[in-house]
Chain A
Amino acid sequence: DADVTQTPRNRITKTGKRIMLECSQTKGHDRMYWYRQDPGLGLRLIYYSFDVKDINKGEISDGYSVSRQAQAKFSLSLESAIPNQTALYFCATSDRQNSNQPQHFGDGTRLSIL
């Protein structure tokens, strides 16, 4: 089983719809991140969380919100989806105790907004 699981893997929806992307991890890491990846732009940080009660904006948080329901779960919401939010979304985790260790990524959610 994957250590970092994202659901759904693919989603096609219409402009204006509310969408939630879910991420769960079994690695026991306290830090979780949401990124989006667009061709030619690389990975960009949307939100990150260092603990259950900790939420921080990344470089492109407008139009998104997150919820850290438990240490193992971090969900990303698009309240009213728009076409330029079409992208590949990744969740990642890392361990505070080993700050030199890399972030571990889920398999991604391919989101298309029509």
Chain B
Amino acid sequence: GQNIDQPTEMTATEGAIVQINCTYQTSGFNGLFWYQQHAGEAPTFLSYNVLDGLEEKGRFSSFLSRSKGYSYLLLKELQMKDSASYLCAVRDRQYGGATNKLIFGTGTLLAVQP
């Protein structure tokens, strides 16, 4: 089966850096996505990793280690608007490698404080 774990909640200070971890267990890993979701709104895409290493996009970076079943999302220079849930989602080849079906974690609710 599949299992994705993320911390339920995190708190950080405006201007600081925060790292949100995600661990996963899948039978056929085929890519990992991070989404941001503000309360009551649609999830929006942040980053995608399929190979080991760091992907950087402005203030946001995402890291993947396939051997450890581990990813993190790094948010720098935190702003109040970054307060949201961050969803880790894994594509599993068990469902067919090119089908783009995702398994979502339950999300990490980040609160940015002044």
Q: Does A68 contact B (CB under 8 A)?
A: no
21 contacts between A and B (CB under 8 A): A4-B42, A42-B107, A44-B104, A45-B101, A45-B102, A50-B99, A88-B40, A90-B43, A94-B100, A99-B99, A100-B48, A102-B35, A102-B45, A102-B48, A103-B100, A103-B102, A104-B45, A105-B43, A106-B42, A107-B42, A110-B40
Q: How large is the interface on B (under 10, 10 to 19, 20 to 34, 35 or more residues)?
A: 20 to 34
Main secondary structure of the interface of B (DSSP, over half): loop
B residues within 8 Å of A by Cβ? 31, 33, 35, 40-45, 48, 50, 87, 89, 98-102, 104-107
In the complex, chain A residues whose CB is within 8 Å of the CB of B35? 102
The tally of residues in A whose CB lies under 8 Å from a CB in B reads 25
- A21, chain B: closest CB distance, angstroms: 14
Report yes or no: A102 in contact with B33, Cβ–Cβ below 8 A: yes
